[in-house]
Amino acid sequence: MQGGNTVQIKAIRGFSDILSPETTRWKSLEDRAREVLEGFGFSEIRIPILEQSELFSRGIGEGTDIVEKEMYTFTDRGGDLITMRPEATASVVRAYLEHKMYATDPVAKLYSIGPMFRHERPQKGRLRQFHQINAEVFGISQPAIDAEVMAIVMHYLAGVDAARCVLQINSLGCSRCRLPFKEKLRVFLKDHLPQLCEDCRRRMDQNPLRSFDCKVQGCREVMTKAPLISDDLCAECAEHFSAVRDYLELLEMSYEVNPMMVRGLDYYTKTTFEVIADGLGAQNTVAAGGRYDGLVTALGGPDIPGIGFAVGMERLLLIVPDEGLSSGPSLFIAALGKEPQREAFRISYTLNRAAVRTMTDYEGRGLKAQMRRADKSGARYVLILGEDEQRAGKAILRDMADGRQEEIPLPSICERLVGKIRGEIL
């Protein structure tokens, strides 16, 4: 037999393990998102990781960064061209249509939480597998819902104590106002051709708006002088935008208008928004979203308006306070001797079943070693059970916070410990 290859296998670049106690922080952010969204009438949808590639090229748009450069696309063993979802909206729309949700209710509010995949350069706040909280509303074209959706995001962020978040809004107009605007922008870009990057030049004909989103310094400078879509909105879009602002004010939401904001996805119409956080450096957009009234038809469905958003979990975690959460046990049982160990095993199982996190030593180590482990585990209480104690029908409970000890009678020990520890924690 050949010798095994013992080179250690590492995770792929841009794909992270999320370890405890970090997982506790994730869970509390996710739980809070569910609470807030369900409170506003959203229900959960779970969509697959893999979709036909065409869903994204049609749903996100051919000329976008995501579709051009970032998708994990491959041919599977059956010869189908498939993609690991880079965002959720296209999949949610596909599911919405596939299950004809519009036939049962004119309005659908759906949310999902899960991983997305984009082949980008990994850096702070940018991974290749990252996670989003995503929410979509179908069937409401009125501006009130635009404001409500933004308010929900801000309410959620405030509820998890996210630091200094600013809501920025813009309107991208509809196809009617965007078509002539694109032409105007093309003319402007042609005048500044030498200062533009490769990508901007190439995309100028197909989608000149992309240049507003370009991160290259030269392009950014050019774009500060570019014509703005907000000056060229058609009457309907202008009215919609002003109503959105009015509703935001009604909800006492502060916001900034950022006329340079376009989104990375092609399908946005009218309202778009981003939530920018202080202290995130270059990757400072924590959440983003907008209206996509043309997407449902673009994916083969009836003419149904939509609006949604996505919160980036990794970026959110960078701006919410670290509460120093511990995933350690509440109780450590140090048992000495064969019989006490059996008893410790039984008590530990019973307490864990009652959701009192309990740890014990399975290896029969000495008392010193067990106390060291107990200390390291961060457990508030240690139960000491030796052969003498067992014969006397009791165990000793030590409160590690103040070193106080008390005797607990063995016959009702589980009930007593649950009561004591729960009572202390609550």
Binding site for ligand ATP (CB under 6 A): 87, 118, 120, 125-127, 130, 132, 264, 283, 285-288, 310, 312, 314-315
Neighbour tally for 195: CB within 10 Å: 15
Q: Which is nearer to ligand ATP, 276 or 359 (CB)?
A: 276
Q: Identify the bridge partners of residue 170 per DSSP, sorted by sequence position.
A: 272
User: How many Å apart are CA 374 and CA 380, to the nearest integer?
Assistant: 9
Which of 241/267 has CB closer to ligand ATP? 267
In angstroms, rounded to a whole number, what is the distance separating the alpha carbons of residues 88 and 265?
12
Supply the minimum distance, in Å, between the C-beta of residue 164 and ligand ATP. 15
User: Please, which residue, 70 or 343, has the CB nearer to ligand ATP?
Assistant: 70
Between 120 and 399, name the residue whose CB sits nearer to ligand ATP: 120
Q: Cβ 284 to ligand ATP, closest distance in Å?
A: 8
Nearer to ligand ATP, 306 or 312 (CB): 312
- Pick 73 or 285: Cβ nearer ligand ATP: 285
The contacts found for 51-55 with CB under 8 angstroms, 24 or more apart, are 51/82, 51/83, 51/85, 51/90, 51/91, 51/94, 52/80, 52/81, 52/82, 52/83, 53/81, 53/82, 53/83, 54/81, 55/83, 55/90, 55/91, 55/94, 55/299
Q: How far is the CB of 51 from ligand ATP (least distance, A)?
A: 16
Residue nearest to ligand ATP (CB): 312
Q: Are strands 43-44 and 306-312 parallel, antiparallel or unpaired?
A: unpaired
Amino acid at 198: E
C-alpha neighbours within 13 Å on the C-beta side of residue 71: 28
- Say what the alpha-carbon torsion angle 290, 294, 300, 304 is, to the nearest 10 degrees: 80
* Minimum distance of ligand ATP from residue 86's CB (angstroms): 8
Looking at beta carbons only, is 53 or 272 nearer to ligand ATP?
272
Alpha carbons 426 and 392: distance in angstroms, whole number: 31
We find the least distance from the C-beta atom of residue 181 to ligand ATP, in angstroms, to be 21
Minimal distance, residue 227 CB to ligand ATP, in Å: 22
Cα separation, 411 vs 318, whole angstroms: 48
Report the Cα–Cα distance between both ends of the chain, in Å, rounded. 59
Task: Report in angstroms how near the CB of residue 154 gets to ligand ATP at its nearest.
Answer: 14
